[in-house]
Amino acid sequence: MKNLTILIAVAGVSVSLVALAKADELGFTTLPPPVQTSVIKETRITSPTKVLRVVQDTGGVYAVTVMTDTGQQVVYVQPTGVIVQAPASIVHETTTTTTEVPEGVITTDVIQQYPSRFELLEKKGDKEIYLDHQTGRKIKLDKGKVESD
């Protein structure tokens, strides 16, 4: 569940960054004075040289990236100078389904159904030895007989 949450968060950030990348990059000194004032007050920067990047999204909100003493900070500001939260983005959830193979019975059919799970290590005539990556066991196949180490 934790990995799914991280995946969703990364997807959301990616969508936001794609939207920002499509926007035009601007210079800080070309912004309206209320936007400049809000960014300076919010981030407490001492000069416009601390501004690394300014981008205006399609909704008109400016995303201003500044370098502060603690690292980079992004401030989102409306053209009127009002500080807003990061723009919302669309997140698509992905679900992965894992199928368990019964432990006791490993047949040639099972090995063919799950080729990424089983690796052929050795083949001599009708005898084959496979490594089961899920359990770490070696599986010996001999003309229909199956043995497990």
For 127, list phi and psi in degrees, rounded to 5.
Answer: -100, 135
What confidence tens digit (pLDDT) does each residue in 62-95 have? Answer: 999 998 888 889 999 999 999 998 776 544 455 5
pTM over 0.75: no
CB atoms within 10 A of CB 35: 25
- The confidence score (pLDDT) of residue 116 equals 82
- The confidence score (pLDDT) of residue 19 equals 47
Average pLDDT over residues 110-135: 83
- The confidence score (pLDDT) of residue 91 equals 46
Task: Please check the confidence at residue 2 and state whether its pLDDT lies above 80.
Answer: no
| Of the listed ranges 38-52, 91-105, 110-124, the one predicted with least confidence | 91-105
Long-range own/partner contacts, residues 86-90 (CB < 8 A, 24 or more apart): 86/16, 87/16, 87/19, 87/57, 87/59, 87/61, 89/12, 89/13, 89/15, 89/16, 89/19, 90/15
CA 77 to chain centre: 26
- The confidence score (pLDDT) of residue 90 equals 43
Residue 144: pLDDT band (50, 70, 90) is low
127-132 β-sheet, strand order: 118-124, 127-132, 138-142, 145-148
Q: Which two tokens stand for residue 29?
A: 């000194």
Q: Which two tokens stand for residue 138?
A: 């070696």
Pick the residue with more confidence: 81 or 118? 81
